[in-house]
Chains A and B, each alone.
Chain A
Amino acid sequence: MYAFTYHRPATARQAASLLARKEDAKLLAGGHTLLPTMKQRLASPGALVDLGSCADLRGIARKGRNLVIGAMATHAEVAASPEVREAIPALAYLAGHIGDPHVRNRGTIGGSVANNDPAADYPAALLALGATVVTNKRKLPAGEFFTGLYETALEEGEIIVKVSFPVASRAGYAKFRNPASRYALVGVFVAKRGGEIAVAVTGAGEGGVFRWPEAEAALRARFAPKSLDGLAHTAKGINSDIHADAEYRAHLIGVMAKQAVAQATGKA
């Protein structure tokens, strides 16, 4: 690592002020992307603002028709939360399958969302569930928040405070893990809210997380795995790498979508 100064604010407001004042400052949440990158000297922030003591960024609560998760809630906390398991069990399932148990004890929803790794799990959930990312400055619908590979609508000095999920009537998540890294090679989150259906795909898109309108249309007719029979995602725009080419990933999108619907409908 290159040298940096370390700061540990107690509130999000203090964090924002540090972020504004310190040159080349970066926020440290769970650190499971940032620290390995810094160890490899691929990132060199001048200052780290550790959000670990910001109590106002923690907490998970049901608020009316929304499930609100603090940015610093760890994956393990989300996975184990009775509120999450009650409101959106698929979200708890997703959080419980990120990385490994140790990663889940440190990694946070805010960190994952802000990083927008194209192979991360959370972006698919946010997009499919129509979540809102609440920052210290504004509220951003998920559809506007994720703007490209590792790119988000977050501006300089902006801190994610919480993520608000409208409670879905049904939801499911299926992921095909990269055998080596255990990130999503393909992950599909499906959600049904009233008549509204969303299918969001992570891990596969050349531009990061995206929605699959054809599957959504098919599921609108009937929300069942069978509705996706014969429906294949095109390989166009799908990512190819040493682990999986576009054709295979495109195929897996169909398979995972079905599994996700099966989970959502209690048929998994």
Chain B
Amino acid sequence: MANLSMTVNGKPVTANVDPRTLLVQFLREHLRLTGTHVGCDTSQCGACVVHLDGKAVKACTTLALSCEGASVTTIEGLADGTALHPMQEAFREHHGLQCGFCTPGMIMSAVDIVNRRGHDLDEKTIREDLDGNICRCTGYHNIVKAIAAGAAAMAGGSVKDPVPPRQAAE
């Protein structure tokens, strides 16, 4: 067992863990932050993506002890109190999720894409940068839309399309 301290969603946490503990296990089993998911064993599906010192990483392929002193943000820490993060709001507005399992990782990756590439994202960039996230439900169509809208909203715009889809669909 080894001592561990880090900051998770802005709060300091300390624990005594088995060195084998992966970051995702630490979050899910020790801190009961179950929004971060595990969908594969080969570091590909991205359901476990969190931000480690501001960068998107796969929490299933990171030892908790490697995060000593680091700052971790999970899907639970993204909203500002009750106010949803613009990317969360965009996923809801554009139906960028169905079963919801890949969603936390998708949203954390999406915010990371914006952090790296800015607010004006074209479809090709979004699709290529989603390389590390697999969704089986949506066919990605609405995820791509949501990320483009969320990226714009993070710059202060609205997450809605100029023409709200509710009317557009009629």
Residue positions of A touching B, CB distance < 8 A: 1, 3-6, 8, 28, 31-32, 35-36, 39-40, 48, 50, 52, 76, 99-103, 105-106, 181-182
Distance of A123 Cα from B44 Cα, bound (Å)? 22
Distance of A104 Cα from B109 Cα, bound (Å)? 13
Distance of A171 Cα from B154 Cα, bound (Å)? 38
CB closest residue in chain A, given B113: A101
Q: With contacts A101-B109, A101-B131 known, is A6 near B63, CB below 8 A? A: yes
Most chain A C-beta atoms within 10 Å of own C-beta, residue among B55, B113, B129? B55
Inter-chain contact B41/A39, CB cutoff 8 Å: yes
- For chain B, the count of residues having a C-beta within 8 Å of the partner chain is 30
Which secondary structure dominates chain A's binding surface? mixed
B residues 40-85 near A (Cβ < 8 Å) are 41-44, 46, 49, 52, 55-58, 61-63, 65-66, 68
Q: Does B39 contact A (CB under 8 A)?
A: no
Inter-chain contact A8/B65, CB cutoff 8 Å: yes
Which B residues lie within 8 Å of A6 (CB)?
A: 2, 19, 63, 65
CB closest residue in chain B, given A40: B41
Inter-chain contact A105/B55, CB cutoff 8 Å: yes
List 5 interface pairs A-B (beta carbons < 8 Å), by A numbering.
Answer: A4-B20, A36-B42, A50-B63, A102-B132, A105-B57
Contact indicator per residue, chain B 19-33, by CB within 8 Å of chain A (1) or not (0): 110100000000000
Inter-chain contact A36/B41, CB cutoff 8 Å: yes
Inter-chain contact A3/B58, CB cutoff 8 Å: no
Distance of A101 Cα from B42 Cα, bound (Å)? 15
Which A residues lie within 8 Å of B44 (CB)?
A: 100, 181-182
Distance of A99 Cα from B65 Cα, bound (Å)? 24
Inter-chain contact A50/B65, CB cutoff 8 Å: yes
Most chain B C-beta atoms within 10 Å of own C-beta, residue among A32, A39, A52, A101? A101
Report the minimum CB–CB distance from A82 to chain B (whole Å).
Answer: 15
Distance of A39 Cα from B63 Cα, bound (Å)? 11
Which A residues lie within 8 Å of B132 (CB)?
A: 99-103
Inter-chain contact B66/A28, CB cutoff 8 Å: yes
Distance of A41 Cα from B52 Cα, bound (Å)? 26
Inter-chain contact A182/B131, CB cutoff 8 Å: yes
Inter-chain contact B57/A102, CB cutoff 8 Å: yes
Which B residues lie within 8 Å of A32 (CB)?
A: 43, 61
CB closest residue in chain B, given A39: B41
Inter-chain contact B58/A103, CB cutoff 8 Å: yes
Which A residues lie within 8 Å of B18 (CB)?
A: 3
